[in-house]
Amino acid sequence: MTFTRMSLPTAASTIALALTCSSGMAVAQSTPEKIEQIGLMVQDMSNPFFSAMEKGAQRAAEAIGATVNVQDAQLDLAAQHTQIDAFIQQGVDLIVVSAVDEAGIAPAIERAKAASIIVIAVDTPAVGADAVVMTDAVQAGRVSCEYLFEQMGGEGQVLLVDGTPIQTIIDRITGCKEVAANYPGIEIVGQQASKNDRASGLAVTTDMLTAHPDVTGIFGMNDPSALGAVLAVEQAGKTDQIIVTGVDGSPEAVEELKREGSPFVGTATQSPGVMVERAVQIAQDIIAGNPPTETTVLIPSELVTRESVAEYAGW
């Protein structure tokens, strides 16, 4: 078997899956006889989250004797259209896509489906996909912010480091705000969108801290943005004043939780590799004539803190 990137096998994860119904998705009427070529499309390979997806794709491909072609969109919708067209020309049997734009990717998915390619979305929905496998993002936002607000003693000013407007990020912010509604002493005083990475998380947090110097808590909608917020807090000399939580359970977040004196206190987990493995399993079921009756698979999120990080298995 071959891969377009270096194979980094790890032990497969076992998790409980929660299923919910989803609209706007229909299983392709024409399917390949066997999955021999898998095309994995990720949003931004500089984010370790998507590197973990690649590892999951490699594990899944190895299990069924398939090959994997991994493409990085670098957060560019036009690039994902071009990548899908290339996959069609290559004759792949399955496309697993983390879409930059849920609706904007639809025409390209339609072209893939017309070419009898199974398309499974991961991490965020994609219009026209046969199914989507994603973290329960609303729950992840709730879990992270519940802990943040508890550690703040149920009162104080909070900043939200938002991200690109894809559904999974929107849902995390929604979950956080739902929890905030239960804390009358918590006031969300700022919300700005990062580009989902550490550098932009640093920039937007620095701006918000200048406008709101009395903040005592920050929620980053993913770990890279949260770690950027941590750096902003430290540069502002507010390490003893502000605590930060994120979402992902990434290797970098694990190291930060272990770093003595860091304002980073918790992260709600995701399982990016498992998402892709589950996507391949769903495609196998479709080929076997057992298409999913419930086309949204939600993976529960769990909280990792300084106290529990030693027991966390990670990605």
pLDDT (tens, 9 = 90+) of the chain, 315 residues, equals 444 443 333 333 333 333 333 334 444 446 788 999 999 999 999 888 999 999 999 999 999 999 999 999 999 999 999 999 999 999 999 999 999 999 999 999 999 999 999 999 999 999 999 999 999 999 999 999 999 999 999 999 999 999 999 889 999 999 999 999 999 999 999 999 999 999 999 999 999 999 999 999 999 999 999 999 999 999 999 999 999 999 999 999 999 999 999 999 999 999 999 999 999 999 999 999 999 888 999 999 999 999 999 999 999
Q: Is 41 in contact with 97 (CB distance < 8 Å)?
A: yes
Across-strand partners of 157?
Answer: 187, 215
Q: How many Å apart are CA 285 and CA 189, to the nearest integer?
A: 47
- CA 88 to chain centroid, in Å, comes to 25
CATH dotted code for 18-135+271-300 = 3.40.50.2300
Closest CA to 238 of 217, 221, 257: 217
Q: Is 158 in contact with 169 (CB distance < 8 Å)?
A: no
- Burial per residue of 156-191, b for 16 or more beta-carbon CB atoms within 10 angstroms, e otherwise: bbbbbbbbbebbbbbbbbebbbebbeebeebebebb
| Assigned superfamily of 137-270+305-311 | Response regulator (3.40.50.2300)
Question: What pTM value is reported for the model?
Answer: 0.80
Intervals of CATH 3.40.50.2300 along the chain: 18-135+271-300, 137-270+305-311
